[in-house]
Chain A
Amino acid sequence: MSDHSEKQDISRRDFLTKSALASVVIAGVGALAGAGAFSKPAVSPGPSRKYKIGEPEEFPVGTAVKMEKENIFLFHDEKGFYSLTAVCTHLGCIVSQSENGFTCPCHGSEFSKDGAVKGGPAPRALPWLKMSLTPDGKLMVDADQEVAPGTKLEV
């Protein structure tokens, strides 16, 4: 008996105690991870952010309007249509048009007419949004897709 137990590195009691403790730790970590995974949104419910905004003819050259519901700006100049988001890149407030571009009411970020940061805490420029024509010839803005600044849609 004593001969046998000397060969063992770990006694039966220690083994059982340690396995029991390990099972508690594993259960705890598993429960935490499970609760975390449970509360992480699996799908992001929300309305589609592809907006059909109308016939190109409704917006003649020189148009510069804010679409309140969609939180986007729509412009039309000689080179074509383009759209910028109205959601500030700082903390998500809605910017408004000013003389030289856009300003944000919450923390005073300022952007130039092409969306570049001119002042305030905004970390990056206002994104330009992807514009396209639907098969039935209407203008569409995809607020989830950015394009390079200067990209304009000729119609």
Chain B
Amino acid sequence: MGGVEKPALKQFVNNLKSLPSAASEVLLGGGLPKSDRERSQLSFHNFFLHMQSVRVHKHSLRWSYTLGLGIIAAASFVILVVTGVLLMIYYKPSTELAYFSIKDINYVVAGGRIVRNAHRWAAHIMVISVLLHMARVFYTGSYRRPRELNWLIGLALLIITLALSFTGYILPWDQLGYWAATIGANIAQSTREITDVLGITRILDIGGLQKGFLLGADFVGEEALIRFYLLHCVFLPGALVTLLGVHFWRIRKDGGLCRPENIDRPGTPEYQALEPEEFEPGPSKTYGLMALVGGRRPAALTAPENTVMAWPNLLYAEAAVFMLTLAITLLLGYFLDAPLKEMANPMVPENPAKAPWYFLGLQELVSYSAFMGGIGVPTIVLLSLALVPFLDRKGADAGIWFGGTAGRRVFWQSILFGTVVTVGMLVLTIREGWLRTWFPDIPQLVIIILNPGTVLVALYAWWSIFNIKRHDSIRIGAIAMFTVFLVGFILLTYVAAIHRGPNWRFYWLPSQWPPH
């Protein structure tokens, strides 16, 4: 027995000695890779690296194509998760303690101020980059087959991002948050405007049901705060992480980012723009294995390899974008404090009570009709966005900004049209009022159907159909529609942010607001 014991002990000591190299073998697969071959091996076998393909097309790496927006959005989400979990250490979701726990985080906790500010700024950056990322994907026509599903997932991610921002806005339980929650819950309830007109509210009170689910009571209080807290910290981030995983995975499955059709065809302008290496075509052959992956099958030996290693080319670019996002977030967070108003007071609303900036356009619409502005128009916009990949299906112009010069021209024309129509409508509404000013006894249903918001939507829809006809191109009609809605969103947000004062009246400058 003694004879066996000795070698085992020796082995044990030896194993102990070689722990560092064994650990690096398991964790890093034997040190950092030195060749492309080793890097691709590691990319295959590492969970985090295998999210992107080993090789990436040169076209997908161009800044002028992606602008890095998707990565900025993902980077800001990572920052939000880290700072958010830190904030949860001290935050107390109770109407009596929430406000003071935020004060503690701001003034007492070491580094608390910068963590809260960074959370706030990363949230702003996420909303902006998600919106711009959607615009990039739209204007490059990247929603087309086979990427319809990823476009829909992207829309869901946009909604979740906005919902996360809204629920987070409420948690400090200050005047801003309290009145935002009140207005939000009443927008959910505003479906009653329709059921009231139909006279079926007693049987089917959808509005009341929605408000009940959101608030857990008839008023904004403890139950509501717990529900918003749960949505913000568990339910919505969980949904977002799940869908984000699918979103990334679909990029691989759809054959990488959308590219122009001719990008790998020697002699075309798209191909020349990549500055390809000299190439001698060989006998025609295709990669059979690539049939496992969706998308076009690349022809082997008939065109040069226009892909490069994702590590380092893509990986380092992503790391750089992440670090840049982090740097901007921390800088903003260091110099600019997140707002915190007085503690929530159910007796006195803020005057004016303004929503966070990305909802101000909606608030302007809500000031025409609660149901149409808060539920009707957003539903129409989201539905049209969801339908785009199914209505605009074919064409050789995918992967090209605006699909070419004609689309680019329509983009500028749409900016002009959208500005004129939207500003005209705003001037009319602000100077002359709307139907109720002229006919005080007008039924509510008429206002719901015919208000500045719905008139604008109708004009925008007309403009996009007009462009489909004029250019005989669905893609151009889609560009026209997206652009006028974008212009409308920006202009309504601007007017609500700068020119709306107490009682939602129009003022040129906040300095002209009456004392109150």
Q: What residues make up the interface of A, taking CB atoms closer than 8 Å to B?
A: 39-41, 44-46, 68-69, 71, 90-94, 103-108, 117-121, 123-124
Contact = CB atoms under 8 A, between A and B. Distances in A.
A17 B349 CA distance: 59
Contacts of A118: 436, 440
B454 to A, nearest CB: 13
Given A93-B182, A107-B363, A123 B444 contact: yes
Interface string B492-509: 000000000011110000
B503 A91 contact: no
Contacts of B346: 71
Interface residues of B, number: 46
B460 interface: no
Please provide the 4 A-B residue pairs with the shortest distance between their CB atoms, ordered closest to farther.
A108-B504, A105-B351, A107-B367, A91-B186
Given A93-B183, A94-B347, A104-B503, A44 B367 contact: no
B186 A44 contact: no
Given A93-B182, A93-B349, A118-B440, A105 B368 contact: no
Given A39-B213, A103-B503, A119-B437, A92 B218 contact: no
Contact of A91 (B182, B213, B219): B182
Contacts of A68: 347-348
Nearest to B348: A94
Interface in B176-196: 179, 182-183, 185-187, 190, 193, 196
Given A92-B182, A106-B349, A40 B213 contact: yes
10 contacts: A91-B183, A93-B349, A104-B503, A105-B350, A105-B351, A105-B503, A107-B363, A117-B436, A120-B504, A123-B190
A107 B347 contact: no
B217 interface: yes
A68 B350 CA distance: 15
Dominant SS among interface residues on chain B? helix
B96 to A, nearest CB: 15
A32 to B, nearest CB: 13
A90 B369 CA distance: 8
Nearest to A86: B347
B353 interface: yes
Given A92-B186, A94-B349, A105 B366 contact: no
Contact of A46 (B217, B351, B373): B217
B223 interface: yes
Given A41-B212, A46-B218, A69-B347, A91 B370 contact: yes
A78 B507 CA distance: 40
Nearest to A106: B353
A119 B212 contact: no
A105 B504 contact: yes
A119 B502 contact: no
Nearest to A110: B503
A92 B366 contact: no
B349 A121 contact: no
B217 A45 contact: yes
Interface string B151-171: 000000000000000000000
B298 interface: no
B169 to A, nearest CB: 15
Chain B CB count within 10 A is highest, among A45, A117, A123, for: A123
Chain A CB count within 10 A is highest, among B218, B448, B502, B505, for: B218
Nearest to B451: A121
A69 B348 CA distance: 10
B433 interface: yes
Contact of A119 (B209, B219, B433): B433
Given A91-B366, A105-B502, A124-B196, 6 more contacts: A91-B182, A107-B367, A108-B504, A118-B436, A123-B371, A123-B444
A124 B209 CA distance: 20
Contact of A45 (B209, B223, B348): B223
A45 to B, nearest CB: 6
B216 interface: yes
Dominant SS among interface residues on chain A? loop
A118 B347 CA distance: 24
Contact of A105 (B196, B352, B440): B352
Nearest to A69: B347
B349 A105 contact: yes
B221 interface: yes
A154 B309 CA distance: 87
A94 B448 CA distance: 22
A110 to B, nearest CB: 8
A108 B505 contact: yes
A120 B436 CA distance: 8
A40 to B, nearest CB: 6
Given A91-B187, A106-B353, A108-B503, A121 B366 contact: yes
Contact of A93 (B179, B213, B369): B179
Contact of A40 (B179, B212, B433, B448): B212
A103 B367 CA distance: 13
Contacts of B183: 91-93, 106
B106 to A, nearest CB: 27
A72 B422 CA distance: 38
A123 B196 contact: yes
Contacts of A106: 179, 183, 349, 352-353, 504
A128 B447 CA distance: 23
B182 A120 contact: no
Contacts of B353: 93, 105-106
A1 B185 CA distance: 65
B201 to A, nearest CB: 12
A99 B447 CA distance: 26
A155 B182 CA distance: 36
Contacts of B447: 121, 123
A91 B367 CA distance: 10
